[in-house]
Amino acid sequence: MSSVPMLPTLRLLDHAASQGPQKDILDHAQKLVGFVPNMYRGMANAPAVLSTYLHGYGLFRKEAGFSPAEQEVVFLAVSAVNGCGYCTAAHSMIAEKKSGVPADALEAIRAGKTIPDARLAALFTFTQAMVRTQGRPDAATVAAFLSAGFDEVKVLYVILGIAVKTLSNFSNHVFATPVDEVFAAYKVA
């Protein structure tokens, strides 16, 4: 995978120097998370992109009905398939420090191994299958997801999680977004 920005004339915005809608959305982002992540600085070149991301991300967190650990599993599953090192680092930190993902599960996810928790494993496998098959997982994967205790409405919320993470993953790809210092310890090789 290339680390060269696909959009060489667009830069990560300087929050302090930004103006108009770009400044407004970056101000909003700072209020939400306490700092302006590099990813947001790239997305804000088109304020609608960052606004859409923040809105969908907030709704996923608030309405999906997944536990915080399950939410991180969805985000890590998508980011792994899409090869986004930035989001893998960020969500690994959130998984460990804030969302309570069991250490053995996070280690397995990051190493590409089997997740020891059956419910988290079913969610991870289902989410990755949804991404890889463009929303057409096989019957066995769907059955395993439902058997793990997830209801059919959760399929739609997985799709929301995929949409939000794909927006951020692809934005990070085109900017070759550098991982923020706060996430640096979780960078993947």
- Averaged pLDDT for residues 91-101: 97
Task: Centre a 10 Å sphere on the Cβ of residue 89 and count the other Cβ atoms it contains.
Answer: 21
Nearest to 42 by CA among 182, 166, 168, 159: 168
In the predicted structure, residue 44 carries a pLDDT above the cut 90: yes
Domain locations in the chain as residue ranges: 66-186
CA 18 to chain centre: 25
* Residue 9 pLDDT greater than 90, yes or no: no
Report the C-alpha gap between 102 and 109 in whole angstroms.
11
What's the predicted TM-score (pTM) here?
A: 0.94
CA 175-85-59 angle, to 5 degrees, is: 85
From the list 153, 161, 154, the residue with the least C-alpha distance to 59 is: 161
Specify the CATH architecture of the domain 66-186: Up-down Bundle (1.20)
